[in-house]
Structure formats: structure tokens, C-alpha cells
A and B are shown apart, each in its own frame.
Chain A
Amino acid sequence: MCSITVCLPITKNRSFWGITWCFVGLLSCLFDTVAAQSRHTISGYIRDAGTGETLIGASVQLQNNALTGTRTNSYGFYSLTLPESDYVLVFSHVGYQPREIAIRLNGDKPLDVTLSAGELLDEVTIGRTMRDDHIRNPQMGVNRVDVNEIRHVPVLFGEKDVLKTIQLLPGVVSGGEGSSNFHVRGGAGDQNLILLDEATVYNASHLFGFFSTFNSDAIKEIKLYKGGMPAQYGGRLASVLDILMLDGNQQAFGAQGGVGLIASRLKVDGPIVADRGSFMISGRRTYADLFLKLSDDPDINQSRLYFYDLNAKANYRINERNTVFLSGYFGRDVLGYSNQFGFDWGNVTSTLRWNSLLSERMFSNTVLVFSDFNYNVAITNNDFDFAIASRIRNYNLKQDFQFYASNSSTLRFGVDLLKQRIQPASIEANEDTPVNSLQLEDRRGAELAAYLSHEWKPIPQLSLVYGLRISNFLLFGPGNFSTYDEAGDIIQREAYEKGELVTHYLQFEPRLSLSYQLNADKSIKFSYNRNTQNLHQLSNSTSSLPTDAWVMSSNNIKPQLADQAALGYYQQFGGNTFEFSIETYYKYMQHQIDYRNGADLQANSHIESELLFGLGRAYGVELFLKKKSGKFNGWLSYGLSRSERQFDAINEGRWFAARQDRTHDAAAVAMYQLSPRWNVSATFVYSTGNAVTFPSGKYTVGEETLWYYTERNGYRMPDYHRLDLGVTWESKPTNRFASSWTLGVYNAYNRKNAYLIDFRESEKNPAVTEAYRIALFGIIPSITWNFKF
């Protein structure tokens, strides 16, 4: 047994030494395990028996000692090292029938296992075999969403949307009515790291936020980290949303799809070479624009209004030890009016991944990523002919190693090298257009990070993951870089050559998450993490627009920093049918960004002079009760929280509520299997209204009435609540074909939730001013037909 210094870094210096001691403990501990005699390793992949799809987080346990075991990583790989002996191993995963396999361990043993999907028969078995990760996993602040599990949750327009479903989890609040934007633990919308097959997705929404870019058909699993992020993730303050695409069926060709009110979907997958490789292609497109074609007006029937998504993935197992994956996402929104105005935007991501088993205990993942987001605006009419374009892209190399030192000790380390380039909005105008071409300088940066973390179980009751991420952000020329004073005036201007370093920020980001098991059904967990962020999105509107500008950390903009500590209590009961958790957190954020009054964020080469820098803090309590299995399942979530900001130039320097601050945020999700073919579901959400700025007076200038504002975010929008209902009917499946109808009702009792509140002179009497609200969605029914063969 080895000793360890638990480090809770407060200041940078102290944390550095604390970390050093941690790793001294770690090394001595590794030495112990490596030196141990006659131990052997069982390792391999756990897959779905029907499709060959790898299973993430599936558990491997000893039959006679459930405390000894491991679980598969994000690629379905496990490795378990045990003393030489005979064992019965239990392989299990949610929604699958567990399998027991007896082995004689007298040497390293590769063991790939398949599990068959299926319901468990009795609750006793459930209690014994279902993984209780919830209790034992040292990782806290994480929510795992199985796409299959949420397929019955009713949604707006019947479009399944993982980004809307995660808003039903505690600690996650919606970005607005019908919006796929979300805020985690009081963070801003741009503080979420959204990864699709390890590629950063810059803009995860379609149609100004009403739909997310993630087509549920193509997704295998999503994991949301709200705190205690593992060291392999970095770059955003508030959360990591890690989305993995399906690999595709390795055994048989299949197709599934759906027709809904807004969009149609089709997915095709199948083997490339049976049991060695597979592919998956999934597409989605909206068709509201087809109705425009029916118009007689040429301006309207030439208009465009649609978006599409295409997800594609292929994998090939070269041999027992090496698998390669290639995946890509292409999505675009296209709007256009007649031939006068065009506006389109979209993301492209592509990921080349190589999983390699260097030894039975050493798993390597090498990833090469390209990610791009761009938008184009084109204006063409008699007087104007110009185009606006902007782009942000990155190339990212990640090398990750997982070393299974022993069954109580796993080491993870690697590097994450990212090169990023921002082309801010530039204007390209024709000669005779009364608009000038305008080219803002590109900005180039790199973020180089290295990390090391150790998941360790020193005693059976205690398990922890601790680690350190060291990141260095570098900003490069060419370009002119101005420095601004407090008032936003230029104090210095310097030209840099190509490749010349303008500034850099070295950051140490300690991470810790630990779990102490009180008994088989109860545990407490603690986590601390520091995160930094060097990419910032600037937006002064309530709806997120694709045209919102991106900026990197610079000589003026310091990296955003967040320190978060969290404490939680976890319990399972009813034979692990129910899980319950209560988590409380405190987060302190530095170098937060806001804007000067009247800030000009459009095509402004001095955009950094419009920024204000301040502090943030967020704290709260989150309760979560989930029923995981049975005919009736679902969850209750509740968050009580506060998120505040402090800027010298806003509200006289007082702390004020951030816009996304919602005191209460609650959700109830219930799904009930009436019969094998009928399923009903309901979702109820309630939340305190956003903090908002309303006028506290008025004045007249000439003929215009202007509003007098005294305080930023001093008011509240009305409380928000809504009930959604859904019912799914599955047709009698034949051996080749299955289909289902889903009827949904969004906002079932037609609550007029205020989308925005504005003020105006009354039409009846212009001397009187009145407030009015706009409610976006009343009761909205939807119908979707899904099929599979």
C-alpha cells in the first residue's frame, strides 16, 4: 500500500507542490504494482452481440467479489489484472443480459465478449448484476445519457434532440424557449466544450438555436461533465459534452429512418468486412422550403429555408490490436430570400482515430481532428452587391494513453495539440457597390496541453481520479496587435511577423474527483477542478446567432479561469432500480467577459476595446432521482442555484445576477410502457425566469420615448413552466421490418411563456407606455413515423 497526499490547491504555487507530491505517491504506487509477482491481464472489447457496436462503460466484475472489477473505456476496451487463479467473470451493461464467463488465469488473456440486448427478468438479478457506477465511480458531476433510453421523451416538433434532453438534467438550464443552447452550473453558453467524436463543434445549433446539430440516429452515447472534469478534457470552463457516434452494424446491413413535421431522417449501416469493419451514414434534412416552392411569387418560390446534417463513420479492425476509425459531420443551414439575400452557415468536423493495444495493459488512442465553422452572407440587389464571410477552424492532434497498472490503478496521460485560426467577418464588395471591402486580420493561435491522471482505489471503499493538465496557449502573428487601456483607448500598437509570438499563457489545471463508499448502496464524492478557456464567443443578443464573433485570448483578453469544488451524496435503493444523488458546488470564475454600453461587435478591428473583464461566481444544490428500469421509468431533477457576475463598470461594481441565473430549475420525466406496443411519456419543466434588464423609467427626446435603465439584470422574466406529452405505438414487427408512430404535444396546457418582453407606446394613447410579451410556442402537436429494417 502506498501513501498519498490529497491536494486541494488554492493558489497556483501551493497547487504546484501539492501536485508534485501527488505524483511522488503515484510513482511509488505504480512501482508496487509493477513489481507484483504472478499477475496476469485479461483484456479485450465488450460488444453488442447483434450489431458488434462496442459498449461504453460496460462492467467486468468477479462473481464472488463485486468490488473487484473494471469497466470499458470510451472505445469499449477493458483490462483487468489479477493474481493467477480461477475466476468467474460477470460482464454486464445496462439494457443487456449479463454474461458469466469462467476462466483459468495462468497467463495474459485476450477476451472479447459480446452481450445480447434484452430486459432483465427479475429485480433481484438487477440488483446483483447491474453496474452501480453511480455509487462507485469516482467521477462526479457527470450525467450519462443513453440515446435509446431517451427515445420516448417528448420533444418540440417531434425532433429528438439530445441537447434539449440534457436540459432536463439538474444543473443544466435551457438557453431559452425551444432552444438547444444550454448553460451548465451558471456558465455562459460558450463555456461548454461540445465534442463530436472528439472534434470540437463550434456552433451546435440550427435555425438560430431551435434545433441542435446532433441527429440522434447517429449517436451512441453522450456524457456531460458538469464538474470534476477528467484531465484529458480542457479548453472550456463550464462543461464537457462528449458525444460519440455509432460505429455501424458489423454483422448485417440495416436501415432506419423517420418522417416528421420538420425533418426526415435516414440511416444506413452495415459491415464493410463482416466482424472486422463497418460503416454508418445518417442524414437529416428539413423540408419547410418545399412549401415555398408552391408559391406563385417568384421572390418566394426562389427563397431557401432549410438545414441538413450528414454523419458518416467507418471503422476497420486491422488486427486484434489495431482499429482505425474515420468519422465526419457535415451540416449546414441555408436561408435565402429571392436572389437578393443569402445566408448560410455550418460545421464540418472530421476525425481520424487509431486505437492501438500496445500491450494487454496499455491502450493508445491517437486522434487527428479537423473542425471548421463558417458563415456567409450575400446581398445582391440593384444597389448592393456584397458578401460577408467568416470562418473559424482548428487542427487537433490528441494522443492518449491508458495504462492499466493494476485493477486498482489506471494511469491516463497524453497530449492535446490544437492549432486554431479565426477569420473574422470580412466584407467582399463589388466595385460599384456603395460598400467597401473590408478585411479584418486573421488571428492564429495554438493550445498545447499535456496531462496526466491516475484513477486509483487505495482501499476498497475509496476510489479517486486525480490529475493535472498543463496547457499553454500561444497567440501568433502576423498582424497588428493593439493594447487598450481601461477606457478602451489604444495605448500601444505593434506589428508582428508571421509566426512571431504575440503572447502566451501557461496554465496549471489540477483535477480531482473522489468517491468514498459508505456501504454497498451509498457513497459520498468530492471534486475539485480548475479549467481555463482561451476561445471566447462575443454576443450581445439574447438569441445566439451564427454571426457572433469569436476571439482568442490575447494581450488584452486574459484566459478565463474557473475553480470549482463540489460535494455530493449518492444512494441507490430498490435493488439498484432507483438512484438518487445530491450535489452541491461552488464555482469561482475569473476574467469573465462583458461589453461596454453600445459596444460595436460587428466587423470591428478594435473589438477587444469594447470588452469589459470581471468576475463570476456560481453555487447551488442539485437533486436527482432516477428510476432506471421497469415498465415505469424516468427521473426528477431539481436545481437551486445562483450565478452572479461582477464588473467595475456595471451596476457600480456590485455583484449582479447573470442572465442565465435561475433560482429554481426543475424537471420531471416519466415514461410508462403500457403494453409491449404502447408507450406513454410526459415531461414537466418549471424554472424561475431569467434575470433581465427592464427600464425603471422613461424620457422623451423629440418625438421619441426612450427607456431609462438603472440596473443590469435587475428584473426577472416570469416563471416558466410547461408540460409535454407523448405516445408511441409500435406496429407488430415482422422479421424484416418494424415501424412506430409517435404523437407528441408540446406545451400541453398552452402556457404563454414569455419569450421576450418589450415596451412601447400604447396605440390607443401614445402618452401611455405599456409592456407586452411575445410567447413563441403555444400548444404544438407533432407526429413522427419511424421505421427500421
Chain B
Amino acid sequence: MNNIKFFILVISSLLFSCEDVIDLNLNDANPQLVIIGEIHDQADQQVITLSKTMAFNQEGGFDGVSGAQVEVTDGLGVVHRFTEHSPGRYVADHFFGRIRETYHLLVRVDGNTYTAVSQMSPMVQIDSVGTAVTHLFGEEQKYVAIAYQDPPEQPNYYRYMLRVNGGPSRFAHAASDKFNDGNYITEHVSNADEELHTGDAVTVYMQCVDQAMFDFWNAVQLTNPGTAAPANPPSNIEGGALGYFSAYSMAELNLEIK
């Protein structure tokens, strides 16, 4: 279906479209709490961020919320307490995520309580990684190609992050096996805004995530200017916060674009 959207874009651009920045008077909504909690199995430090939404015209992007009680309880009843390292950034050290473990998040802030649950999916074995090239209207486009065998008879969800030439790690793609359950899959991964070139040093993170996190990022990637009713991505946090809490397993791969 992305092909169809691509065609619409090509056709609209053929139709003499023009683009310019405009001044728009947008409302300043009451700030809303955003909780992003990720527990993974590749480090002994886990980070949960709490922030508030900001006015559209305000400069900057992260308005941290301080003074919260943040903890994650695992299936054995062990409580991991998170401490605030910088405004809105809560960190727990010596905390390795374990696959198949169920984690419970508890956040108390400003007299409100927020909870969420997530179970860590096991990692799917990556078979190979390399560079893929496609040609569209004479333009060459490069991707990181990741090949793996999708586990059959069960829903699997993936998120890919890319770090290019030592830059920040950015969201690249969220995928589910809805249409290719149990198949040998070659996923083409690239970041929408950053073209990959020969010689780029790339780190790709393949994450096996739960449905809540897929739903969140899938909503982000599906929202485009033609979406009739854009909405906030669905949150799995009880208590009325934006964001998500998700435990996932992860693999990190480094390669040079050929």
C-alpha cells in the first residue's frame, strides 16, 4: 500500500503542486503527561522518561517531569526503583531485562498513579544483514537488508532503529507478521529523512516488541498528511498518559553500506 501512496505523491507532484511554510494559529493544549518506558535485554541500565506535551510554537522538544516515583516490578516480585538523573529522565542501574518476563510499571506523580504491563518477547535470530538497493524513476535508494525466519503460528512485532555515522539512534520502521507469518523475511530498513550512501557506518537495532509498542509506532508511521482523522498513538498506560511501556529483546548490528 505504500506503493500506492508513493504513486499519489508522484501524481500530485506532476500536478504542479507547490509547498510553502505558513503561519497557523494553533491552540495551546493543557500539558499532558507522556510516559515512555522501555525495558530491554541488552544493557544493565534501563531508562524511563516522563515529560509534558508542549505548545506547538514553543522551541525545544522535551519538557521533563521531575519528582516522580518510578518503579518496575518483575515476575519474581523484585522491585526496580528508578532514580531521576536529569529532569524527566529516570534510570535504574543493574537491571537486565529477561525474555518472557512480565514487567509491571508503576509511576506516581502529582498525586496520580499510572500503571502498565508488558511481557518481553524472545529475540528472533537474524540470519544475515547487508545492503539492498532499489531503483525508482532512475533514482537509486539504499537500505539495510535484514533477513530472518519469522516464528510461525504466532504474532510477532518488530521495531527497527537506525544510527547513521555516529548520529542519534532514530526510529526507522515498525513491522508485524500479519501478512508474512512464519516466512523467511528480508526487511528493508531505512530512515525516512536520511538517505543512506556507500560507506556510511550504520548501526541497526532489531527489536522484538509487544503489540502495544507496535501499535504505537505503527500509528506514528501510518499517519501521513492524507490521514483524515489523525489521532494520538494508542497508549497502554492505565491512568491517562500518552506513550507506552514495553519490554523487548534486541539485537544490535554494525555494518558499512556497500
Q: For the complex, is B166 an interface residue (Cβ under 8 Å from A)?
A: no
Q: Is the CB of A427 within 8 A of B17?
A: no
Could you tell me the distance in whole angstroms from the C-beta of B86 to the nearest C-beta in chain A?
A: 14
Option from B7, B8, B179, B231 in Cβ contact (under 8 Å) with A597: B231
Q: For the complex, is B78 an interface residue (Cβ under 8 Å from A)?
A: no
Q: For the complex, is A49 an interface residue (Cβ under 8 Å from B)?
A: no
Q: For the complex, is B198 an interface residue (Cβ under 8 Å from A)?
A: no
Q: Is the CB of B225 within 8 A of A769?
A: no
Give the interface centre of A305, A427, A701, A756 by most chain B CB atoms within 10 Å: A701
Q: Is the CB of A774 within 8 A of B225?
A: yes
Could you tell me the distance in whole angstroms from the C-beta of B132 to the nearest C-beta in chain A?
A: 8
Q: Is the CB of A697 within 8 A of B179?
A: no
Total interface residues on B, CB under 8 Å, equals 71
Instruction: Give Cα distance in the complex from A427 to B181, angstroms.
Output: 13
Q: Is the CB of B18 within 8 A of A752?
A: yes
Option from A541, A542, A597 in Cβ contact (under 8 Å) with B219: A597
Q: Is the CB of B17 within 8 A of A776?
A: yes
Residues from chain B with Cβ under 8 Å of A698 in the complex: 53-56, 61
Q: Is the CB of A540 within 8 A of B229?
A: yes
Given A299-B135, A776-B12, residue A695 in contact with residue B56 (CB < 8 A): yes
Given A598-B234, A703-B168, A776-B12, residue A710 in contact with residue B22 (CB < 8 A): no
Q: For the complex, is A67 an interface residue (Cβ under 8 Å from B)?
A: no
Q: Is the CB of B56 within 8 A of A436?
A: no
Residues from chain B with Cβ under 8 Å of A540 in the complex: 227-229
Residues from chain A with Cβ under 8 Å of B53 in the complex: 697-699, 708
Q: Is the CB of B31 within 8 A of A297?
A: no
Would you give the 0/1 interface string for A703-728, flagging 1 where the beta carbon is closer than 8 Å to chain B?
A: 11111111011110000000000000
CB neighbors of B among A675-713 (8 A) = 693-710, 712-713
Residues from chain B with Cβ under 8 Å of A299 in the complex: 135-138
Residues from chain A with Cβ under 8 Å of B184 in the complex: 434
CB neighbors of B among A738-789 (8 A) = 752, 754-759, 765, 767-778, 780
Q: For the complex, is A603 an interface residue (Cβ under 8 Å from B)?
A: yes
Residues from chain A with Cβ under 8 Å of B60 in the complex: 767
Instruction: Give Cα distance in the complex from A759 to B21, angstroms.
Output: 9
Residues from chain B with Cβ under 8 Å of A207 in the complex: 11
Q: For the complex, is A602 an interface residue (Cβ under 8 Å from B)?
A: yes
Could you tell me the distance in whole angstroms from the C-beta of B19 to the nearest C-beta in chain A?
A: 5
Residues from chain B with Cβ under 8 Å of A655 in the complex: none
Would you give the 0/1 interface string for B17-43, flagging 1 where the beta carbon is closer than 8 Å to chain A?
A: 111111110111101101010000000
Q: Is the CB of B171 within 8 A of A337?
A: no
Q: Is the CB of B16 within 8 A of A777?
A: yes
Total interface residues on A, CB under 8 Å, equals 78
Could you tell me the distance in whole angstroms from the C-beta of A292 to the nearest C-beta in chain B?
A: 10
Could you tell me the distance in whole angstroms from the C-beta of B11 to the nearest C-beta in chain A?
A: 7
Instruction: Give Cα distance in the complex from A343 to B183, angstroms.
Output: 25
The total of Cβ contacts below 8 Å across the A-B interface reads 201
Q: Is the CB of A539 within 8 A of B228?
A: yes
Instruction: Give Cα distance in the complex from A597 to B62, angstroms.
Output: 25
Q: Is the CB of B15 within 8 A of A776?
A: yes
Give the interface centre of A297, A541, A754, A780 by most chain B CB atoms within 10 Å: A541
Q: Which chain B residue has the least Cβ–Cβ distance from A296?
A: B138
Q: Which chain B residue has the least Cβ–Cβ distance from A773?
A: B22
Q: Is the CB of B4 within 8 A of A597?
A: no
Q: Is the CB of B179 within 8 A of A436?
A: yes
Instruction: Give Cα distance in the complex from A547 to B243, angstroms.
Output: 31
Q: For the complex, is A395 an interface residue (Cβ under 8 Å from B)?
A: no
Give the interface centre of B4, B34, B62, B170 by most chain A CB atoms within 10 Å: B4
Q: Is the CB of A696 within 8 A of B61?
A: no
Instruction: Give Cα distance in the complex from A299 to B28, angstroms.
Output: 48
Q: Is the CB of B183 within 8 A of A435?
A: yes
Q: Is the CB of A434 within 8 A of B180?
A: yes
Q: For the complex, is B113 an interface residue (Cβ under 8 Å from A)?
A: no
Q: For the complex, is B169 an interface residue (Cβ under 8 Å from A)?
A: yes
Option from B17, B20, B230 in Cβ contact (under 8 Å) with A707: B230
Q: Is the CB of A343 within 8 A of B8?
A: no
Could you tell me the distance in whole angstroms from the C-beta of B17 to the nearest C-beta in chain A?
A: 5
Q: For the complex, is B215 an interface residue (Cβ under 8 Å from A)?
A: yes
Given A543-B8, A598-B231, A712-B229, residue A773 in contact with residue B180 (CB < 8 A): no
- Known contacts A696-B56, A707-B230, A755-B12; can you find 19 more A-B pairs with CB under 8 A? A210-B15, A436-B179, A594-B229, A597-B232, A598-B231, A598-B234, A694-B24, A698-B54, A699-B54, A699-B242, A701-B243, A703-B168, A704-B171, A706-B233, A708-B29, A712-B231, A752-B20, A772-B19, A777-B17
Complex A-B, nearest 10 residue pairs according to Cβ-Cβ distance, in ascending order: A696-B29, A700-B61, A758-B225, A697-B53, A597-B231, A771-B24, A708-B53, A598-B219, A696-B27, A434-B183
Q: Which B residues are within 8 Å of any A CB, using their own CB?
A: 1, 3-4, 7-8, 11-12, 15-24, 26-29, 31-32, 34, 36, 51-57, 59-62, 134-138, 168-171, 178-186, 215, 218-220, 222, 225-234, 242-243
Q: Can you report 16 A-B residue pairs in the complex whose CB atoms are below 8 A from each other?
A: A299-B135, A299-B137, A300-B138, A435-B180, A438-B179, A539-B228, A540-B228, A597-B232, A603-B179, A697-B28, A702-B170, A713-B229, A752-B20, A767-B61, A771-B26, A772-B22
